[in-house]
Amino acid sequence: MGGDGMKRQQGWGGGVMAKMVAALLTILGAVMTPAWAQGGPIRLVALGDSLTAGYGLPQSAAFPSVLERALKARGHNVVIANAGVSGDTASGGLERLDWSVPEGTDGVILELGANDMLRGVDPAVTRRALEAIITRLKQRGVPVMLAGMYAARNLGPDYARRFDAIYPELAQKHGLVLYPFFLEGVAGDRSLNLPDGLHPTAQGVERIVERILPTVEAFLARLRP
């Protein structure tokens, strides 16, 4: 083959190679870019216990489903996975974290600790587990919104002080959006709780979502800079 032929072949090969590289970068970019940046929904995971799972309620009345509907009604393109497990502690949530929060998750609403408190678990243990969850998610590039809990006052002032401090201190340390008390406006109201006095009714969940909605919207704003 003559010199001109060699140049034409090299030019053709270089052009094809450049196109292949460009195509590969486009594919990789699509894989690495959050779904919402590609026009898809923001994918959230609600990681929690029975308060998230919707104990005693149909799934359509559970917190993640009700919150998703409320956010969509306000124009947010979101999908919220229910990763609530009844009876779970903060340590239990840590153990199942990797499979409960799959790749492609854009953010996590973390609601754990109520069962630790009800069982009288040392607040230091709860704090370590929650911080390990937060740290691991941050390492994966998954932002966290923290939904707090207050201790029952019959556990004594020292326990209540140590437990209640977990959430605001972790939020401040890690720069998280914090909703101080998940059961705000519902705890202690018999009309909004099941007969056990611990789990919200469908109306109770609606109240929780109504109260927490502005904080979740602030969290979503962080996910879309």
In the annotation, is 196 catalytic? yes
Alpha-carbon separation of residue 71 from 80, 141, 181, 218 (angstroms): 10, 23, 20, 12
Check 4, 158, 191, 196 and give the catalytic one.
196
Check 4, 49, 50, 91 and give the catalytic one.
50
Determine contact, residues 112/148, Cβ cutoff 8 Å: no
Determine contact, residues 24/86, Cβ cutoff 8 Å: no
Dihedral pair phi/psi, residue 204, rounded to 5°: -65, -40
Please name the residue that has the structure tokens 């919150």. Answer: 67
Contacts of 111 (CB under 8 A, 6+ apart): 46, 47, 48, 49, 51, 52, 63, 84, 147, 149, 182
Distance between CA atoms of residues 34 and 74, nearest Å: 21
Neighbour tally for 211: CB within 10 Å? 16
In the annotation, is 199 catalytic? yes
What DSSP assignment string belongs to 9-52?
A: HHHHHHHHHHHHHHHHHHHHHHHHS-GGGGT--EEEEEEESHHH
First to last CA, the chain: 56
Check 88, 100, 116, 199 and give the catalytic one.
199
Question: Catalytic amino acids?
Answer: 50, 196, 199
